Amino acid sequence: MTDAAQSLEEPLDRDPVAALLAVLDLADSSARTTEDIFTGVSQPMPLGRVYGGQVLAQSIVAAERTTAEGRIPHSMHGYFLRPGDSSKGITFAVDRIHDGRSFSTRRTQAFQEGVPIFSMISSFQDEDPGIEHQQPAPDGIPGPEDLPDLEDHLSGLHPVSKRLFLDRPVDLRHVPSPIYVTVEGERVPRQAVWMRSCSPLPDDPAVHRAALAYVSDLTIQESILRAHGVPWATPGLKVASLDHAMWWHRPGRIDDWLLYVQESPSARGGRGLATGRIYSRDGALVASVAQEIMVRIPA
């Protein structure tokens, strides 16, 4: 739908976190069909395209609004169909496909001007006890306090350009370093990113689940670009998200530091696959993510 770097480059409202909460606050439309209808606003974006993580988060909010209390999302699989226009609102239509004893399934489609821009299937489950294990967090990752702020990586940029990077709802700290302007170090298809909202969010777990979907699209593509030494600032670079899958494993707060471990197992034919695991500060595996992108690098 759009490259994730755009979401970091757009000046938001004075309080970027308040702006994020505003886009997650969908309105329940009075219109009624065989589906539940919700409407939402978009964040303004520099190139006019809706940020993919935004519509992901809004779609899961819409779907969760139609499920029974206590039945929470555990997975979603979505396809970006068309670029969205960030100057216009979005309509979300939720089809209540199935409600079982423990699971519910929903299809959510996001529309602009009557045309679908995103389609998602999501599944919800009551909290049940059961077997448990997880892949541990990697060792040797520096803590967020030991890493420089993003502003330290933007020296030499015009103050206005710096503001485009810094006015955002999420604090990001890359390991080894961001690839916005240059790719430093070894060209490898992996990286890690600490992330945390710039100010506290409400305690509602549904807000944190949606915000986690929002941030899951911010940097996952970068393991693909890093492997080839391609920074976001490359003239003529074109990156677009094709699909996105996410699994919520355990509760997590986006206003506490989360570690997003990312790698790319393959790139071919103008497409790259990236996967990610999101851990809490104490090492709990909060979520897993997979995304395929279209990537076109100028010759």
Residues annotated as part of the active site = 217, 241, 291
Q: In what order do the strands lie in the sheet with 90-99?
A: 27-28, 36-40, 90-99, 103-112, 115-126, 71-80, 238-248, 285-296, 271-280, 258-268, 190-197, 170-175
Q: Which of 139, 141, 73, 142 is nearest to 108 (CA)?
A: 73
Q: Which of 23, 26, 29, 32 is nearest to 64 (CA)?
A: 26
**Position 30, amino acid:** S
Q: Look at phi and psi of residue 185 and say left if phi exceeds 0, alpha if psi is from -120 to 50, else beta.
A: left
Structure tokens at 43: 């964040």
